[in-house]
Amino acid sequence: MADETQRVYALVRSSEQELLDRWVDVASTALQGRLTRSELERACGDLLAALTPALDVAGLNIRSEAYASARAMLAEMSRDRARRGFSPSETATEVFALKEALFAIADARGDSSETIVAVSRWVDALGLHTFEVFARAREQVITEQAEQLLELTTPVVKLWEGVVAVPLIGTLDSARTQVVMEKLLQTLVDTGSEHAIIDITGVPAVDTEVAQHLLKTVVAARLMGAECTISGIRPQIAQTIVALGIEFGDIPTKATLADALLYALRNSGVEVVRRRRTNAG
């Protein structure tokens, strides 16, 4: 094993500049100009500078402590690539290009096949690590976007003094309900509103689960001392609700947001009257 390490180390150290040049060559061909050559040179140069001492200290085991900085560098690189929208293979190629460069040099030096196998295993491990981080970074990007979307799609609007509304758009799941609930309740506290309207015009389908979520929100608002109305129930939705046997109990439901607003206003003692035209009378 130590022998193997020695050979790989010797191979890497034999002609570092040439190795770097070849690495950058292969990588830039594969990436087809998505990164500039100088960018690649810097990335690969830094990585090689971190890998060489690690290889000397810890051998081929990239999980060891000595590889920490090299691993961090790889992670940083793949995170950056994930954010810039690189495909997985493009990111992996950047690392695997090192293998090709090493093979070329090994070939020129006439190294044994054991060395080739050791090099291959070493670079594969590096590549796998890169890929793992890449996938994680991508997932993170997706999660962040989902959260942003969640924030975007649940605005709480003030309709009148003491009346707030949440126009819900899109499918309701537990996570979204939680956000809606928290935002609505917080707004009730912040604005001192005693009436809340949940408008579900934009909710494509209501099943028992969604209804359960809505009920929870209404009950929570009631616990805080606010009255909650559900509005925007489309005919099809009404049919589904009845067919599923969902009971909204004593929670007021209205067909349109306008009806719900009127109901809330009346409940808070505001009467809406059409002003008579003075010149007509």
Partner 1 sequence: MDRVPILSLGDVLLVSIQVDLQDESVVALQEDLAERIVDSGATGVVIDISAVEIVDSFIGRMFATIASLSKVLDAETVVVGMRPAVAITLVELGLSLQGVRTALDLQRGLAALRQRRAEREIPLADESDEAVEAPAAARD
CA dist., res. 5 & res. 55, Å (int): 7
Q: Of the two residues 36 and 174, which places its CB atom closer to partner 1 in the complex?
A: 174
Count of residues touching partner 1 (by CB under 8 A): 19
Q: Which residues, in sequence order, are CB contacts of 166 under 8 Å at separation 6+? A: 154, 155, 156, 157, 180, 183, 184, 196, 197, 198, 199
Give me the least distance between CB of 48 and partner 1, in Å please: 52
Give me the least distance between CB of 157 and partner 1, in Å please: 18
Residue 117 touches partner 1, criterion: CB under 8 A: no
Residue 182 touches partner 1, criterion: CB under 8 A: yes
User: Helix or strand or coil: residue 63?
Assistant: coil
Give me the least distance between CB of 219 and partner 1, in Å please: 5
Q: Of the two residues 94 and 227, which places its CB atom closer to partner 1 in the complex?
A: 227
CA dist., res. 21 & res. 23, Å (int): 5
Q: Of the two residues 54 and 181, which places its CB atom closer to partner 1 in the complex?
A: 181
CA dist., res. 147 & res. 150, Å (int): 5
Give me the least distance between CB of 223 and partner 1, in Å please: 4
CA dist., res. 157 & res. 165, Å (int): 5
Helix (H) or strand (E) holding 199: strand 195-202
CB 246 within 8 A of CB 208: yes
Residue 160 touches partner 1, criterion: CB under 8 A: no
Site string for partner 1, 215-254 (x = CB under 8 A): -x--xxxxxxxx----------------------------
Residue 194 touches partner 1, criterion: CB under 8 A: yes
Q: Of the two residues 12 and 226, which places its CB atom closer to partner 1 in the complex?
A: 226
The per-residue b/e assignment along 137-175, b for 16 or more CB within 10 angstroms, e otherwise, is bbeeeeeeeeeeebeeebebeebeebbbbbbbbeebeee
Give me the least distance between CB of 63 and partner 1, in Å please: 42
Taking alpha carbons only, the member of 81, 116, 80 closest to residue 101 is 116
Q: Of the two residues 222 and 234, which places its CB atom closer to partner 1 in the complex?
A: 222
Residue 189 touches partner 1, criterion: CB under 8 A: yes
Measured CA distances, 207 to 142, 168, 177, 204, 213 (Å): 27, 15, 14, 10, 10
Give me the least distance between CB of 250 and partner 1, in Å please: 10
Q: Of the two residues 28 and 229, which places its CB atom closer to partner 1 in the complex?
A: 229
In the beta sheet, which residues pair with residue 26?
Answer: none
Q: Of the two residues 98 and 156, which places its CB atom closer to partner 1 in the complex?
A: 156
CB 205 within 8 A of CB 213: no
**Considering only 32-40, 71-79, 163-171, 178-186, which stretch makes contact with partner 1 by CB under 8 A?**
178-186
Considering only 87, 145, 186, 239, the residue that binds partner 1 (CB under 8 A) is: 186
Considering only 192, 205, 209, 258, the residue that binds partner 1 (CB under 8 A) is: 192
Hey, what amino acid is at 159?
A: L
Instruction: Give the interface with partner 1 as residue ranges (CB under 8 A).
Output: 178, 181-182, 185-186, 188-189, 192-194, 216, 219-226
